[in-house]
Structure 1
């Protein structure tokens, strides 16, 4: 796999945008969900301690986030969403220029404060294939960069700091290592090292942007062999856990 190369402008955008996955659970099961909520199901919720650590480190390091997304899964299913918002408000006070936003399917009504941009997203008909490993379909891993990096930025979850917003499902599906555990160790080099681990089976690698790319040539429900094998193993492990 070729090393990702970002321009200075792209790197600035990449390292100052982040999506916080507060839950891996969702009350929908959209086909080819890029968060894995449809087939790699999980009820894991981020803890308040993790949110507290994110805010405290960001303030202590004077980290100037430009955008912070409150995401999932479906963020409104987290039972401690009000407490999460209260903690994040401390960073909003510290850095008022940072844009907070969230996206919800609107099944659970919730009144977000006006400092959080609320993107209502009840229509999920725009989904395309995701579970397509480039190596399964002969797609060369030689791109300069994946657009998801500089379009969406980093991810923060119960796994730590991760290189992109699709990282969680790859960790679940392929039992990969956790991310970077402290913001002080988050940099271009540490994230690119994780990209070499997480990106090799990501269908989004085959997209030019969110609207065009080789991935669109596959049916929305297509699952390539590597992902099929991962799903069989994931279901087997979770079935055994259920029986314990």
Structure 2
């Protein structure tokens, strides 16, 4: 019996019917969210899964969009376990102080148990100056980057759909990121994870959800269209930093090469 279940669980990666029987291997954590407030970056690491290097942009979320997110959260009685602010490099957002004030107001007046976190590369004097102004009630996740190469970064731009090995894969199974990091939000809407939002930004599918998702099934279309382009899907499971094998260069498969070539020609996505 146990051997049969083990074989079935292995088939979940490639079989639609088995997925319906056992459920997706990874689901989006609906109480966690990563908000990419900007795609600006002063470091531009190789293999960036927000494409800040490959498709640079000065686009940012507006203060009004952050207020909309908070209004939606309160209207839906949403008490987030964790709200993580990142980018790009979030300290480069011109309205960072106002954004953090709005989030702190939500925490203090409505959801005291919510963990507020800002993730930064801590690279350069401008970033350091901005970090000094971050309120103490917001945890600063300092990744302490010193250069463009990051050992733990994966080959984000190797699309599984460009590899025949994944020809029959059910991409709604997603990967550990949507489970451990939760959904993503950027200026184009909500996604099953932050990396998925950056894929839509480059490819221009324009499938960001404009209302706060409350159910797993709302992400199904995104997972079918975005996970098949994501290099994270190849590994699927979390690997500790000390066990990560460094990526040689910045490899890209055909669909990514074409998408980056056409990035500046695509129509603007609808805003959140």
TM-score, length-scaled by structure 2: 0.78
Aligned to 1:121: 143
1:68-126 per-position Cα deviation (integer Å, ceiling 9, x unaligned): 00010100000100000111112211111111111111121112212211011122522
The structure 2 residue matched to 1:76, chosen from 91, 114, 122, is 91
3-state SS of the aligned residue for 1:166?
A: helix
- The alignment status of 1:134 with 2:160, answered yes or no, reads yes
User: Which structure 2 residues correspond to residues 1-244 of structure 1 after superposition, within 5 A?
Assistant: 5-6=23-24, 11=27, 14-93=29-108, 94-106=110-122, 107=124, 108-109=127-128, 110-111=131-132, 112-123=134-145, 125-126=150-151, 127-140=153-166, 141-142=169-170, 144-183=173-212, 185-211=213-239, 219-235=248-264, 237=265
3-state SS of the aligned residue for 1:85?
A: helix
How much does 1:170 deviate?
1.1
3-state SS of the aligned residue for 1:114?
A: coil
What 5-or-longer segments of structure 2 have no aligned partner? 1-13, 267-272
Report if aligned partners of 1:133, 1:201 keep a CA contact under 8 Å in 2. Answer: yes
Report if aligned partners of 1:128, 1:219 keep a CA contact under 8 Å in 2. Answer: no
- In 2, the alpha carbon distance for the partners of 1:142 and 1:68 equals 29
How much does 1:195 deviate?
1.2
Moved more, 130-139 or 68-77: 130-139
- In 1, the alpha carbon distance for the partners of 2:224 and 2:236 equals 19
- In 2, the alpha carbon distance for the partners of 1:24 and 1:64 equals 27
3-state SS of the aligned residue for 1:19?
A: strand
TM-score, length-scaled by structure 1: 0.86
**Number of positions where the alignment pairs a residue of Structure 1 with one of Structure 2:** 231
- In 2, the alpha carbon distance for the partners of 1:66 and 1:41 equals 31
Aligned to 2:4: none
Kindly report the root-mean-square deviation, in angstroms, between the aligned alpha carbons of the 2 structures.
2.3
